[in-house]
Amino acid sequence: MKITLKVWRQKNKDAKGAFKTYQVDHASPDMSFLEMIDVLNTSLIKKGEESIAFDHDCREGICGMCSMYINGHPHGPLQTTTCQLHMRTFKDGETITVEPWRAKAFPVIKDLVVDRSAFDRIQRVGGYVSVNTGGVPDANVIPIPKNIADEAFDAAACIGCGACVAACKNASAMLFVSAKVSQLALLPQGKPERKVRAERMVAQMDAEGFGSCTNTGACEAECPKGISLTNIARLNREYFGAMLTSYEVEVGGGD
């Protein structure tokens, strides 16, 4: 396959970026998109040029590091991670445009690499269970209805890749935050802190500069793990319920 790539190149967050065009003449249809970038980078290095910086880790669709905006879609035209996107998805001779995530809360570090530590800070203020649960109980000691367990598991499948933010016209992080709130609020172990969790995580999300949700559904459509919009509805219920009964209003504030 012969592919033309228009790739966003930017030295750092303060530098002015621009698209640069590259040709890949021997891309195998069985290559993943990241492997194709590897081939391009190898040729660039041989020419004495600087390679394209991009994020990656597991390359198995687990970690969510492979954040590329490809032809107008986070991770590319399929609802999967970039590392699981193969070149057979594209046509021979096609021109492919590759950009970083575009969001105020995800500043570009270099080329296609963005700083997604905002997600870590949101998780840090409330996405955990701090109660002492003791040893591991038997499976039937705390009975949880299967439908509730399934919902919690589905929410926990979020890998925090940021595709929802990149897909949203407002760069909202509501799908990510709602998944992290849901996976704990649904289970008995997460209920004692459910109110303060919702308040703190929403407050931190706003502080990071993410936009508001307008329910267009783009986040769910592009999410590689199929996180449902119903989690956003649950987050709204958790948050407004907490605001009616709690004085917790500051990020990292007291109980």
Question: pLDDT at residue 198 above 50?
Answer: yes
What 3-state DSSP class applies to 106?
coil
Average confidence (pLDDT) over 116-133? 90
Q: Under 8 Å CB-to-CB from 229, ≥6 apart: which residues?
A: 175, 215, 217, 219, 220
The Cα–Cα gap between 64 and 60 comes to 9
Q: Which pLDDT band, with edges at 50, 70 and 90, does 247 fall under?
A: low
Q: Which domains does the chain have, with CATH numbers?
A: 3-110 (3.10.20.30), 117-245 (1.10.1060.10)
Q: What tokens appear for 150 in the block?
A: 């399934």
- Phi and psi, residue 155, nearest 5°: -65, -40
Whole-angstrom CA distances from 241 to 32, 173, 210 are 45, 20, 22
Report pLDDT digits (tens) over 56-75: 999 999 999 999 999 999 99
Nearest by Cα to 1 from 113, 121, 89: 89
Could you tell me if 149 and 142 are in contact, meaning their C-beta atoms sit under 8 angstroms apart? no
Q: Which pLDDT band, with edges at 50, 70 and 90, does 138 fall under?
A: confident
What pTM does this model have?
A: 0.91
Question: pLDDT at residue 86 above 80?
Answer: yes
pLDDT, averaged across the chain = 93
Report pLDDT digits (tens) over 141-180: 778 899 999 999 999 999 999 999 999 999 999 999 999 9
> How many helices (DSSP H) and strands (DSSP E) are in the chain?
8, 7
Average confidence (pLDDT) over 19-43? 97
Residues in a beta bridge with 7: 20, 98
Question: pLDDT at residue 252 above 80?
Answer: no
The Cα–Cα gap between 109 and 96 comes to 22
pLDDT at 112: 98
Torsion of CA 23, 27, 33, 35, to 10 degrees: -100
**Which residue type is seen at 120?**
D
pLDDT at 89: 97
Please state, for a pLDDT cut of 90, what percent of the chain lies above it: 86
Residues in a beta bridge with 20: 7
Whole-angstrom CA distances from 232 to 91, 120, 205 are 37, 19, 14
Average confidence (pLDDT) over 128-152? 81
| Structure-model confidence comparison of residues 174 and 253, the more confident one | 174
Q: Under 8 Å CB-to-CB from 155, ≥6 apart: which residues?
A: 178, 179, 180, 182, 183, 186, 227, 231
CA atoms within 13 Å, Cβ hemisphere of 105 = 25
